[in-house]
Amino acid sequence: MSRTIRIRKGANIRLTGRPSTSVVDAPPAAIYAVQPPDFIGVIPKLRVKEGDAVMAGSSLFFSKDCPSVQFASPVSGIVKSIVRGGKRKILAVLIEADHQGRAESFPVIDPKTADRTAILGAMLNGGLFAFVQQRPFAVSADPAIQPRSIHISGFNSAPLAPDMAVALNGRMEDFQTGIHALKQLAGSEGVHIGVRSNETIFSGIEGANVTQFEGPHPSGNVGVQIHHAAPLNKGEILWTMHAEDVANLGVLLSKGSYHPLRVVGAGGSEHPAPKHMRAMAGTALTSLTEGHQDAENTRYISGDPLTGTDAGAAGYLGGLHHQVTLLPEGNEPKFLLTEGWLSPGLKKFSLSRSYPTWLMPKSKEFTMDTNSNGEERAFVVTGQYEPVFPFDIYPVQLIKSIMANDIDGMEKLGIYEVAPEDFALCEYACTSKIAVQKVVRDGLDMLKKELG
Amino acid sequence: MKALHNILDSIRPHFEEGGKLSKFWVVFDSLETFAFTPGHTNKNGVHIRDGVDLKRTMFLVILALVPALLFGTWNQGHQYLLSIGEISVSDSWDTMIWDKLLIGAWKVLPLVVVSYGVGLGIEFLFAGFRKHSINEGFLVSGMLIPLIMPIDVPLWMVAVAVAFSVIIAKEVFGGTGMNILNVALTARAFLFFAYPKQLSGEIWIHEVAASKADGLLVDGYTGATALGHLASTVGKPIMNADVTSVMGMFDAGGMYSLSNAFLGLIPGSIGETSALAILIGAALLIWTGIGSWKVMSSFLVGGLVMGFLFNLMGMNAYMTLPPIHQVVMGGFMFGMVFMATDPVSASQTERGKWIYGFLGGFLSIMIRVFNPAYPEGVMMAILFMNVMAPLIDHYVIQANVSKREKRAILAFEQRATA
């Protein structure tokens, strides 16, 4: 019998446009992108040039610091272009798909009998190690370090997130294969899966410690699950992986092919038909948005509304994203009496109780735009982050220590355990509109640089 | 409202860099953002933001102050008419109500105007100088300051006090959100220490000195507050005739009876007298989650505990006053609801708030009774706790830090043995 942990802090932001449980295959996109900035901490070194023919699984670039980590093309086709930004920084490698389905073939390995080196090698060559993240610092993992444990979240709790049970439906055998492989890679504390307490799809899984979680967002964040099930201590390294990529790992090992499948939660109030869509990593968003085209008044978010990136209508699904959200842009000024700060606010969703919407039934859903609903200010209100931050960590004090570049303070206050996404709800709730996730990211980068 | 925004858009260029009025950008910007929440969208982080902002928060605090303000306005007129015998305590509350409100408003409104005028003027100067937009913090401070003033305080003194507190207590620390001391209380403390003579004695009822000189003053009205009377009993035996006559005013039916003190029908600073009006504001603050119920409740408990301990000691008449009577008098309730809960100067950790509030209430009653020279202990207690709050937070956070360190050491040892 697995342990059940109840997360009391947090909040579910009730947005309209939740994806229905139906799953359809997304129409194949013309262009797919692999975007190095999605993989934090990776400095890309190209292996291809424009015009090269690639197959699914062909390496497009590798990590400068860890050359064994390959970043592979999700589909077969031709390298259409390499998009560069300032200082020639590589922003994306675009692949024009030929829809032939040609794929590199990798050796088939039985993870139960193979040794650690063989499994790790297969994962690195087969492009799936790219999706492994590490804690601390919430960056792409270094394959040379054996992690204490590997953590997988078995559910999404973010607003409008895809349902993991829908996403993994019919893929549990591959998932199990992936778990067997990860078990060989992990150190003393093995593989941990955090599942929602009433979820049954993981009940037959072997080779992993299963912990049940109940409670609101961010209970599905792997960082929250690590903190409550097996907290990270200074000096330890953990890996995290998305459950769908664990299944993709199973496919790689059992069939020898790289197939970075995502069952994308396509939703948001502006999405014409919110549902789950089966697509490859890096697909053009146009194939997930049912032809919705209103770049001026709509924000196309790759990821969830709290942590995703503003990809634009012509953007691509981010490497680590499993969700697309379409929200109305909020770039119109709001008059104080009708929609602004003096309004009755019957449509304003707020975690504070300063608008009467908190009295409405818990089933009511709200449409939110991207307006910041106020300007940035100094910290004034206290006690606002804590109720949505389910860590035994003082969030405001940690943020302030980062702002003050106090390395010692950050360490003591527990920065090793957190990722920017864990602060997403704090940032959402902040009265002073402080960019909390960016502060955390800067702090993690600073600390990583400091420690070398 | 599109039309109004178009007008703003059309005059904006004059205020922007290079425009004729670019020095007044802060004024334009603050008025524009007052009328319209700007169309700023979220970048680099969350894509959706909560509906609440600092303007909404501050507005709700001001709303919570309205009952105390209205009651205070009425009560100042009421006290004046009582003191000169125009009305008697047995009259209905609405006898001569317009006279009461008019007299009150005649004195209170100028205080509010001076407080906001001076304070916001300085804020605009600093915001323009530092090139940031104006912060909403003073909207609340500017209302708090008049409410903790005696009715007949000279306006120039208020202006000086506001200027002092905004500059010294707030702007030198970096502005809203950076101050250590509560801004409004600093203004009051400044007056108390800079003009002790003018701020004691006969200023708690409108024109009490003049009425006395004209022989109009009704018996029992001295212009002193309840706490002033009580302070006069300290150092005298309980059975002393003076003392018993003072204590008689606190019995049921007396001038400072529990019900009078609770309803606020007593002389005192404009906003502080009515525990009832203040508690209505407290209810709004707690209901909307803006005021910390932890600070308020622990502050109240702290005051009651100290009052009870004094009951046990019983060394003078002041100490024998029931704890509940102690906490409804003077600035205790006002300080508890509107001053101690100031999030910037209070403890910022949730555990710290309990300690901070309790000690604040405890010290308020202690100072009030132990120091007859200064009856209003609440101000001193809260300012003292403002200074202590970072220390409380430090120890609360240190406990969390050592817990994490212990866990890491344990894990390290386990790895070493394995």
Residue A330: its chain B contacts at CB < 8 A? Answer: 39, 41
Cα(B282)–Cα(B300) distance, integer angstroms? 12
Residue A93 sits at the chain B interface (C-beta within 8 Å): no
Residue-wise burial string across B324-334, b where 16 or more C-beta atoms lie within 10 A, e elsewhere: ebbbbbbbbbb
Closest chain B CA to residue A437: B45
List pLDDT tens digits, range B164-181. 999 999 999 988 888 999
Looking up tokens 């609903």 gives: A373
pLDDT tier, B8 (very low <50, low <70, confident <90, very high otherwise):
confident
8 Å CB contact of B397 and A331:
no
Q: Which of A258-272, B127-141, B255-269 has the lowest mean pLDDT?
A: B127-141
Q: Which residue has the higher pLDDT, A413 or B88?
A: A413
Cα(A319)–Cα(A302) distance, integer angstroms? 9
Question: Measured at the alpha carbon of residue B372, what is the angle toward residues B370 and B374, in degrees to the nearest 5?
Answer: 105
A349 contact partners, CB below 8 Å, separation of at least 6:
A13, A14, A355, A357, A366, A368, B50, B51
Residue-wise burial string across B17-38, b where 16 or more C-beta atoms lie within 10 A, e elsewhere: eeeeeeeebbebbbebbebbbb
Question: Measured at the alpha carbon of residue B265, what is the angle toward residues B261 and B269, in degrees to the nearest 5?
Answer: 85
Cα(A340)–Cα(A363) distance, integer angstroms? 24
Residue B418: its chain A contacts at CB < 8 A? Answer: 188
B115: distance to nearest CA of chain A, Å? 21
Closest chain B CA to residue A187: B415
Residue B395: its chain A contacts at CB < 8 A? Answer: none
Question: What is the model's pLDDT at position A279?
Answer: 95
Cα(B401)–Cα(B406) distance, integer angstroms? 9
Residue A335 sits at the chain B interface (C-beta within 8 Å): yes
> What secondary structure letter does DSSP report for B305?
H
In a domain, A399, yes or no: yes
B39: distance to nearest CA of chain A, Å? 4
A-B contacts (CB, under 8 Å): 216
Whether A5 contacts A229, CB under 8 Å: yes
Within its chain, how far is the Cα of A406 from the centroid?
A: 28
Question: What is the model's pLDDT at position A338?
Answer: 76
> What secondary structure letter does DSSP report for A299?
E
Which B-chain residues 335-394 have CB contacts (< 8 A) with chain A?
343-344, 346, 348-350, 353, 393
Token pair belonging to B140: 């609340």
Q: Which of A254-263, A376-385, B25-34 has the lowest mean pLDDT?
A: B25-34
8 Å CB contact of B411 and A393:
no
Cα(B118)–Cα(B115) distance, integer angstroms? 6
B21: distance to nearest CA of chain A, Å? 23
8 Å CB contact of A341 and B39:
no
Residue A369: its chain B contacts at CB < 8 A? Answer: 48
Name the nearest CA neighbour of B270 among B122, B36, B3, B78. B78
User: Which of A237, A341, A379, A439 would best serve as a mutation to test chain B binding (most B beta carbons within 10 A)?
Assistant: A341
Residue B133: its chain A contacts at CB < 8 A? Answer: 375
DSSP reduced 3-state for B250: coil
Classify residue B310 by burial, with Cβ atoms within 10 Å: 0-12, 13-18, 19+: buried
In a domain, A429, yes or no: yes
Residue A333 sits at the chain B interface (C-beta within 8 Å): yes
Question: In which element (H, E) is residue A263 found?
Answer: strand A261-267
Cα(B319)–Cα(A95) distance, integer angstroms? 84
Q: What is the CATH number of the domain that holds A83?
A: 2.40.50.100
8 Å CB contact of A394 and B288:
no
Question: What is the model's pLDDT at position B210?
Answer: 80
In a domain, A123, yes or no: no
CA neighbours closer than 13 Å in the CB half-sphere of residue B169: 26
By residue count, chain B amounts to 418
Helix, strand, coil tally for chain A in percent (to 5): 25, 25, 50
Domain that holds residue A81: 29-98
8 Å CB contact of B54 and A377:
yes
Residue A353 sits at the chain B interface (C-beta within 8 Å): yes
8 Å CB contact of B349 and A378:
no
Cα(B169)–Cα(B185) distance, integer angstroms? 10
Residue A254 sits at the chain B interface (C-beta within 8 Å): no
Report the pLDDT averaged over residues A264-290.
Answer: 94
Across chain A, mean pLDDT equals 93
Residue A1 has pLDDT above 60, yes or no: no
Q: Can you give the three-state secondary structure of B200-235, one letter per residue?
A: CCCCCCCCHHHHHHCCCCCCCCCCCCHHHHHHCCCC
Concatenating the DSSP letter of every residue in A87-101 gives GG-EEEEEEEE----
Concatenating the DSSP letter of every residue in B352-381 gives HHHHHHHHHHHHHHHHHHH-TT---HHHHH
Cα(B182)–Cα(B184) distance, integer angstroms? 6
pLDDT tier, A354 (very low <50, low <70, confident <90, very high otherwise):
confident
Question: What is the model's pLDDT at position B27?
Answer: 81
Phi, psi of A111 (to 5 degrees): -65, -15
Bridge-based pairing state of the strands A275-280 and A261-267: antiparallel
8 Å CB contact of B59 and A336:
no
Residue A342 sits at the chain B interface (C-beta within 8 Å): yes
A339: distance to nearest CA of chain B, Å? 8
Assess whether the previous peptide bond of A67 is cis (omega < 30° from 0). Answer: no
Across chain B, mean pLDDT equals 89
Report the pLDDT averaged over residues A239-263.
Answer: 96
Residue of A236, A372, A381 lying closest to B57 (CB–CB): A381
For chain A, how many structural domains are there in total?
A: 4
Whether B121 contacts B128, CB under 8 Å: no
Q: Which residue has the higher pLDDT, B104 or A348?
A: B104
Residue of B5, B177, B287 lying closest to A353 (CB–CB): B287
Which B-chain residues 5-24 have CB contacts (< 8 A) with chain A?
5
List pLDDT tens digits, range A169-190. 999 999 999 999 999 999 989 9
Residue B92 sits at the chain A interface (C-beta within 8 Å): no
Residues A60 and A74 in one domain: yes
Cα(B354)–Cα(A328) distance, integer angstroms? 42
Q: Which residue has the higher pLDDT, B406 or B222?
A: B406
Residue A407 has pLDDT above 90, yes or no: yes
Phi, psi of A61 (to 5 degrees): -155, 165
Q: Which residue has the higher pLDDT, A350 or B216?
A: A350
Residue B198 has pLDDT above 80, yes or no: no
Closest chain B CA to residue A436: B45
User: Which of A307, A349, A375, A426 would best serve as a mutation to test chain B binding (most B beta carbons within 10 A)?
Assistant: A375
Cα(A136)–Cα(A235) distance, integer angstroms? 9
List pLDDT tens digits, range A16-54. 999 999 999 999 999 999 999 999 999 999 999 999 999
User: Helices A395-403 and A436-451 sit at what angle, rounded to 10 degrees?
Assistant: 60
Residue of A350, A386, A413 lying closest to B50 (CB–CB): A350
Q: Which residue has the higher pLDDT, B202 or B102?
A: B102
8 Å CB contact of B54 and A301:
no
pLDDT tier, B254 (very low <50, low <70, confident <90, very high otherwise):
confident
8 Å CB contact of A392 and B400:
yes
Question: What is the model's pLDDT at position B350?
Answer: 92
Residue A231: its chain B contacts at CB < 8 A? Answer: 407
Whether A346 contacts A357, CB under 8 Å: yes
By residue count, chain A amounts to 452
pTM score over 0.80:
yes
In a domain, A176, yes or no: no
Residue A297 has pLDDT above 70, yes or no: yes
Which A-chain residues 229-248 have CB contacts (< 8 A) with chain B?
231, 233-236
Within its chain, how far is the Cα of B376 from the centroid?
A: 13
Residue B178: its chain A contacts at CB < 8 A? Answer: 378
Cα dihedral: B278, B284, B285, B288 (round 10)? 180
List pLDDT tens digits, range B308-349. 999 999 888 889 999 999 999 989 999 999 999 999 999 999
Residue B276 has pLDDT above 90, yes or no: yes
Give residue limits of the domains in chain B.
54-223+267-277, 226-250+292-418
A177 contact partners, CB below 8 Å, separation of at least 6:
A111, A249, A250, A253, A254
Residues A359 and A415 in one domain: no
What number is the ipTM of this complex?
Answer: 0.92
Question: What is the model's pLDDT at position B1?
Answer: 67
pLDDT tier, B201 (very low <50, low <70, confident <90, very high otherwise):
low
Residue of A368, A370, A378 lying closest to B176 (CB–CB): A378
Q: In DSSP terms, which residues pair with A421 in a beta bridge?
A: none
Residue of A338, A353, A428 lying closest to B289 (CB–CB): A353
8 Å CB contact of B37 and A373:
yes
B180: distance to nearest CA of chain A, Å? 12
